[in-house]
Amino acid sequence: MNELILVRHGETDQNRDFIVQGRIDNPLNDTGITQAKKTGAYLKAKNTNFDLVFSSPLIRAVDTAKLIAEVMDFSQSVIIDKNFIERNFGDFDGHKITSEYAAMIKEESIPNMEKHQDLERRVFEALKSVCQTYPDKRILIVTHSHVIKALLVRLVPEFTYTSYLANCSVNYLHYSQGDFSVLKYNVNPLNGGMADQEIRTQPFAKS
């Protein structure tokens, strides 16, 4: 069995200003740097050690992963995996998040946007590949909102692509014999984990 912890990257100026980033390679702002360090401290306080740390190639995720690893005294290099890059939001990249945007996400009507099915296939295949390459390991993956949502919408009945995931939210999954299951999701380490949501779901078979 693999234990998986997926963390959304820390805040960027574009997050703060409610701008869609997608594949735009924006850095963490000062708040995001602080969030990443606090996330590392939160995980360290819970004695959550890792065998491996993966990251999306985008700098906001890479720097979040490195800051968490530094706080946790994790000495290995962060592994960059392009398959954990954020969703391609097509023509909406760089535009303001609005109610229209939320509706267009739900309807998959944004021109040139990566479709739900394609995103979910990419993310599940990437995660399964990591688990099969490194069996029986505890793995931290620092990635993006819609990458994590691609998992949760398939595993948590009430979760949708318009559900909110906080910056540096922590999501706990298991992988065993081809099945994924969610233990907790959208845990906010910046308030001591008070937003923990424990669930009991049927594993998503052979994703």
The CA distance from 46 to 5, in Å, is: 13
Q: What backbone phi and psi angles, to 5 degrees, belong to 53?
A: -125, 125
Helices (H), the chain: 13-16, 30-45, 59-71, 99-107, 116-133, 145-155
Which residues have CB under 8 Å from 131's CB, separation 6+? 2, 4, 139, 175
Per-residue pLDDT, 32: 98
Give the per-residue pLDDT at 192.
63
Residue 181 within a domain: yes
User: What does the block give as tokens for 9?
Assistant: 């990257």
Please state, in angstroms and rounded to a whole number, the distance separating the CA atoms of residues 88 and 24.
9
Q: Answer yes or no: is 163 within a domain.
A: yes
pLDDT computed for residue 106 by the predictor = 93
Q: Is residue 98 one of the residues assigned to a domain?
A: no
* CATH code (residue 167): 3.40.50.1240
What is the predicted pLDDT for the residue at 182? 96
99 lies in some domain:
no
On whether the CB atoms of residues 182 and 207 are closer than 8 A, the answer is no
How confident is the model at residue 154, as a pLDDT? 96
CA 61 to chain centre: 9
Structural domain includes residue 101: no
The pLDDT tens digits along the chain (207 residues) read: 999 999 999 999 999 999 999 999 999 999 999 999 999 999 999 988 999 999 999 999 999 999 999 999 999 999 999 999 999 999 999 999 999 999 999 999 999 999 999 999 999 999 999 999 999 999 999 999 999 999 999 999 999 999 999 999 999 999 999 999 999 999 999 876 554 454 444 333 333
Which pLDDT does position 47 carry in this prediction?
87
Q: What pLDDT is recorded for position 27?
A: 98
Domain-embedded: residue 47:
yes
> Which active-site residues does the annotation give?
9, 86
Residue in the structure block whose two tokens are 């606090």:
38
Please state the domain count of the chain: 1
Does residue 202 lie within any of the structural domains?
A: no
The Cα–Cα gap between 9 and 28 comes to 8
State the Cα angle at 173 between 149 and 85, rounded to 5°.
45
Torsion of CA 100, 105, 108, 114, to 10 degrees: 130
Give me the amino acid identity at 113.
M
Lookup: tokens for 89: 């939001």
Which residues sit opposite 180 in a β-bridge? 175, 204
Let me know if residue 97 belongs to a domain: no
For residue 206, the model assigns a pLDDT of: 38
Range of the domain at 141: 2-86+117-191
